Chain A
Amino acid sequence: MTPQLFLVPIALTLGALGLLAFLWTLRNGQYDDLDGAAHRILIDNERPEELHDQRPQ
């Protein structure tokens, strides 16, 4: 009985943490553009500032 006394709350807590993390990603808008997200990983920018530094063509 004693192991269950702390194992079950730990299991529930871990599950709750996972749920909260998912809800945060949801609020962060990460599911609004799944196609775009899939393609963005292929973009080759080394640093995020590079977009602003590019010389006009």
Chain B
Amino acid sequence: MSVAADSVALLQSSSPHDDLPSAFNRSIAGFVQSEGDLRRLHLLVDGAYCAACISAIEGRLLQEQAISTARLNLTLRRLTVEWQGDERRANDIASKVEDLGYEVAPFDPEHLMRIDDQTGRELLRALAVAAFASSNVMMLSLAVWAGQAEDMAVGTQHLFQWLAAIVTLPAVAVAGRPFFRSALGALRARRTNIDVPIALGVILTTAISLIELVRLGRDVYFDSAATLLFVLLVGRYLDFKVRAQSRGAVERLLMLKAHGAAVCMDNGRIEVFPAEAVVPGMVVFVRPGERLPVDGTIIDGHSVLDVAIVTGESLPVSVAPGDKVLAGSINGQAALRVRATSTIERSHLADIVRLVEQAELRKGPAVTLADRVSNIWTPLVHAVAILTLLGWWLLTDIGFSVALLHAVSVLIIACPCAIGLAVPAVQVVATGALLKRGILLRSGDGIERLGAIDHVAFDKTGTLTEGHPHVTVWPDDRDAMEIAARLAATSTHPAARAISEAVPGAVPYEDAAEHAGDGICASTAQGEIRLGRAAFCGVATPVADDRSELWLSRPGHDAARFVFEDPLRGDARASLGAFVEKGLSVSILSGDKPTVVHRIGTALGVANAQGGLTPRDKLEALERLRVAGHHVFMVGDGINDAPALAAATVSASFAHGAAASQSAADFVLPSDRLSAAVTAWRISRRALGVIRQNLVLAALYNIALVPVAVLGLVTPLGAAVAMAASSLTVTINALRAGAPTGFGR
């Protein structure tokens, strides 16, 4: 909703405190880190997407001589500023960035859940080393194999094999570290994961090859070890990149907290306190365009609040002294004095943050297909290898070292390198396909979870409906429409905007005056005309209807009525139909009035449509579905949806949605298309199918060649070919995940 932005632009506060400086309502000095005389501030910046943003923000800040560094990380959307001297410059810095039009929120890097930069760097380093090692060792190995077929002198072969060893050993030490560490961690916890056979395979391969080299044997497997690490690291790195945008609901909710509260003291002055310092009983002063820092009761002022993203109500709410208001709402029109009824920790907003965290904890990390495959694979492979060793050693007389060689060759052949690539390759392709259709995937395994759903739950306002009102019933009189549009032209209230958009080109009255929460009036030659609530226009008999309405009163005419509704999206019915057609069940969970929700449910043919739900109610509804064994896909856009989005098996928000709901969701859909939810589902189903195929294909190569290894017939060339073939097959098959058939673009 853009009510707030317009309010800031258009409306002036008429309070006596206009002369306060713009850095007035802020106190973020507590977030500044100090190193001697050097101060550092980290800010989350919302709305920076391009080069112009970078140069605007950095350029503006670097104009100050005192600021030594200002660097915006566009990927993480974090601004780091360093300066010498006063900590309170932090407030000034934040204001400067906001004046440019960006929203900022300070954060403490220690407490913020974020992408693990260290893991990314380590994986890249390991990948680079493995790439270097595998390509060079393969160069040497190919020479040796070609030489073995031709007439290469044995001395040359050995020289090349020694060179291969010199390259491989350090490479395995560096590139193998992620796997060794993961395997050790699993073993210490008395489990095995996919990294245990990998680590074992790599170590044993290298060791056996060294022994063979020293004994002047013919078969060394250095290239297998290096290439195995390379292929696996490619898969690992792709997987990491896709998962990198981790759920950071807390991070986005930080954006919503006001950071300073202007408290009215007993002596009449106003002082800025950090929002955390507000206790019940304090009186807070909130200017138009600002967010309420705490829950409270209004003691002075009439205004209109935008509560859409906090409670889901699509129309702004008029408030007057005595009304209860919630933290996070945006004040629309006039200054308010609010007596706090809770601290920021106990506010409605903080409750939602806690609900989201609880929901995420309770759900736990998803068990992916790859994990399940490795749970079966690992013990099986180890068992076969041990049997091979024992079989050859005990049942024949070729000796322990040769038996060990055969057992290790089983481990090498069975090493699931293609499995490590099977899932990430599909994820990359599917993510690209989704992005082409405007759908953003925020968590790596979202595709797997979305492919397996059997129930879809929708929010109403902004999800199934457009989120802002349209006029559905016009008065019969054309003149009334014109006059109403002229009055409405000056207002930013969504209902007024709906009228003025329908009648373009209306010239506003010069002396139109808006009364917050009631309506607009202007005087004409015939008398005073008014557009607004029934009471404001002098309409005595209220129509028994729960729809929103505005009246126009003119001298000499009957009052004319305009009725508003938040209309259904054009593709709402088709989207729901697409899900129902394939056998999924659907429900609507909304915070709006139950009568309105039931009407929408009937219109769409959804039996299970519940209204009047608080965020906690939505969460519980989803819990019930989960306990009943359903895999639920939740689609919503408001802050009040955030806990439900975190709790559902898989969830989607919209690009226009509250930042908090976007962070709690797995997918972000384009604002104008609900059908994107169906598209995402179809792509995910197809991708899930391809993932399963890939896992089978990857296993197939290994399974087919294990008997060959058991019989001791495998050679390094054979192992390398098998590994390359399986990896290529899996990668090429993954490309099929990008082309779903059917619905929409």
Contact = CB atoms under 8 A, between A and B. Distances in A.
Interface of A: 1, 4, 8, 11-12, 15-16, 18-19, 22-23, 26, 31-36, 39-45, 51-52, 54, 56
Contacts of A41: 51
A24 to B, nearest CB: 11
Interface in B17-74: 50-51, 54-55, 58-59, 62-63, 65, 72-74
B132 interface: yes
B136 A51 contact: no
A45 B132 contact: no
Given A33-B75, A39-B50, A52-B62, A11 B136 contact: yes
B54 A23 contact: no
B136 A43 contact: no
Contacts of B515: none
A28 B75 CA distance: 17
Contacts of B51: 39-43
Nearest to B55: A43
6 contacts: A15-B135, A32-B73, A33-B73, A35-B74, A43-B54, A51-B58
B163 A31 contact: no
Given A19-B129, A33-B75, A52 B65 contact: yes
Interface string B282-300: 0000000000000000000
A51 B135 CA distance: 45
A52 B67 CA distance: 10
B556 to A, nearest CB: 53
Interface string B537-566: 000000000000000000000000000000
A13 to B, nearest CB: 10
Contact of B75 (A26, A34, A45): A34
B129 A12 contact: no
Interface in B88-143: 117, 120-121, 124-125, 128-129, 132, 135-136, 139-140
Nearest to A45: B55
Q: How large is the interface on B (under 10, 10 to 19, 20 to 34, 35 or more residues)?
A: 20 to 34
B160 interface: yes
Given A31-B120, A54-B63, A56-B63, A1 B125 contact: no
Residue among B51, B76, B163 with the most chain A CB within 10 A?
A: B51
Nearest to B58: A51
Given A26-B121, A32-B73, A12 B167 contact: yes
Contacts of B148: none
Contact of B156 (A1, A26, A36): A1
Nearest to A8: B163
Nearest to B166: A12
Contacts of A33: 73-76
A41 to B, nearest CB: 8
Given A16-B132, A23-B128, A51-B59, A36 B140 contact: no
- Going nearest first, the 9 A-B pairs with the smallest beta carbon separation are A36-B74, A39-B51, A42-B51, A19-B132, A35-B74, A33-B73, A35-B75, A51-B62, A43-B55
B525 interface: no
B128 A15 contact: no
Given A26-B121, A26-B128, A36 B75 contact: yes
A36 B132 CA distance: 28
A14 B135 CA distance: 13
A33 B739 CA distance: 30
A22 B65 CA distance: 35
A45 B59 CA distance: 10
